[in-house]
Structure formats: structure tokens, C-alpha cells
Amino acid sequence: MPIPEQRVLVTGGSGFIAGHCILQLLEQGYLVHATVRSLKREPAVRAALTDAGMTRGERLSFVAADLRSDAGWADAMSGCDFVLHVASPLHTGKVKNEQDVISPAREGTLRVLRAARDAGVKRVAMTSAFHAVGFGHKHTDRTFTEDDWSVLDGPGVDAYGRSKILAERDAWDFAASQGGAMELVTLLPVAVMGPVLGTQISGASHIVQRSLNGDMPGYPNMWVPIVDVRDVAQAHVAAMTSPTAAGQRILLASGPALSMHQIGSILRSHLGDAAHRVPTRTIPDMVVRLAAVFSAEFRPVAADLNYVKKVSDDRARRVLDWQPRSTEEAIISSARSMLAKKLIKS
């Protein structure tokens, strides 16, 4: 158990991964500061965490801070031993101006790291993403490891992917040249699913929601590596204090990638009538590639059709003693939480 007075700052406290980090930190006895862009969001965030089973909520406080401004970050860091930097703009597909995604991620990362260094924070555990590792490459029979970096201008790399690549590179450069005694570790989860918080559906959980709602006419021949959000949070908490985690990139994946059709089959086999809208048809590759010519939304899919990405989780298991849930559990817990909260069409 941690020392009761140890404090952790979690950035982006209203987010999916951040919320699960907060739940686990409180359960383990830490004092937690969480940033939100406006304190008006605190009641909704507290309600979502309470609904998810939050314990020791009196040890959680909120601070207003935005990645785009210096205001609030010194107060947020005050007295903190560790920082989980989870906040990042999330926009997938086409955006009008890529810098609206990339600049806040890069500037915000450096803003957080500077404030953490100046406040004497021991270690920052930063959420990067598999987008910074496994995208834009030629399709070869390889296993991605932490030594790999995505190709910045490669096929299928969108503004969000570029923001993750550049922000993580900036973080490592800062740690090496200006970080002083502060340590850095980055966590790189693949597609994140698991129990939703409140009514917010984030990340790869949209695949589950759209499947259950019947919003897709069929599935493309696309494969998705998946990890449970609870295991992502557990890895973040472990990365704060693991003696050998400092200076490491750590990939997080629950198991082999699944095809979209396999995800649909899991939903149908576990949920019965609730999965009656889940598609069974296949969208031909030619149709997906044609759609990608006219719509940026389809370009990342078209770039990786029929490509099964293998991901090593050896470092997470070795350095963090990480034992993730099954991919199937991540999918089903995501679906059941949406059904329980009536976030799926009746």
C-alpha cells in the first residue's frame, strides 16, 4: 500500500482511461488531483466515478487546467509525487486543420512536463498509444515492439496518430535534455475497450456500440488488437513506482488481434437478443478502398485491410508484473455496461 500522503495528478480527469486510473489510485489509498478544463465538470465526473464504484472519494480533488494554457498547472502539481499524463485531444479521421489536434497534444505534453519538473515530481507516466508504434508500415510478418515507431506520413496515419507520434517524441526529447531528475515512462495501449464511465463512450468502444446499434451494414476485413481499460489503468499505476519502468516505452495488449467479424461473433454468442443488430455481412475490400478515395474516415481502414498486427506485451509483463484480462472480457464488459446504461438502441 502507498504512503497515505503520496499524491498523484491525473490529467484529463473526465476521460475514459483517466477515470479508471482515478478509481484504482483511490482504491489503493493515494491522494488524487485530477485536472478538468472547467470545474463545472466536477459533479458529472464524480457522479460517473461513484456509479462505477469509487471508494475514498473524499481523497479526490479537481483542478481546472487546460493543455492550451499555462494557467492552473502549478496548482495542479503542487505537492504531487507522481503524474499520470493521460489527457490528449482525441479526433480520429479527417479534421479541417490537423494542427487543431497536433498542436495541443505537443504543447500540452511539454507544458505538463515542465510543470511537473518544476514541482519536483518524481516520475511522469504518460499515455501514448499504439498509433505511435504500429501504423504506416509495410505489411510484413512482424511483431511490433517498443523499439518500433509509426511512419509519420505513412498510409493510414491520421492527425490523431501524428499527434501521438510527435507528442511522445517531444516527451522523450524533453526528458533527456531538460527533465532533470524527473523520470518518464510511456504507456502505449492498443484499441481500448471495457466498462464505460457515465454515458461517455470513448475509443474502440465505439466499435461495440455501432455493432449493437446496427450502424454498420457489414464488417470490413480489418483486424483489431484490443486491451481492457482496467488493465491499462493498472499498468499506469504500476508504472509510477516500478523500479525498472523509468525510461521505458511499454506496449499494452491483451492478446492476439481479432477480426471485426470475430468481435461481432463474440457479441452475438454472449448477448443473445441484445446483439440481433450485429452485422454478419462482409464489406468487400474493393468497396472499402473505393470509399477511402472519397472519405478520410475509411483511409486508415483501407490501409490495413487483411493485415493482422502482432503486438508484444513482454515488457509490460516483465517490468510491471502485468496480467491482463482476456480480449473477450474487454469486449463483453464494454457491451454489458452500455446495455446497463441504456446507451444502445432498444
Q: What residues are annotated to the active site?
A: 164
Position 136: which residue type?
Answer: G
Q: Could you identify the residue written with the cell 518524481?
A: 122
Question: Cell numbers at residue 142, please?
Answer: 512482424
For residue 292, give the amino acid letter: A
User: Can you say whether the dihedral through the CA atoms of 281, 285, 290, 294 is positive or negative?
Assistant: positive
Helical segments of 96-158, H only: 99-118
CB atoms within 10 A of CB 223: 20
Cα–Cα–Cα angle for 248, 252, 257, rounded to 5 degrees: 140
What CA–CA distance (Å, rounded) separates 257 from 191?
10
SS3 content of the chain, % helix, strand, coil (to 5): 45, 15, 40
Cβ atoms of 240 and 302 within 8 Å: the answer is: no
Phi and psi dihedrals of 120, rounded to 5? 80, 25
Amino acid identity, residue 92? T
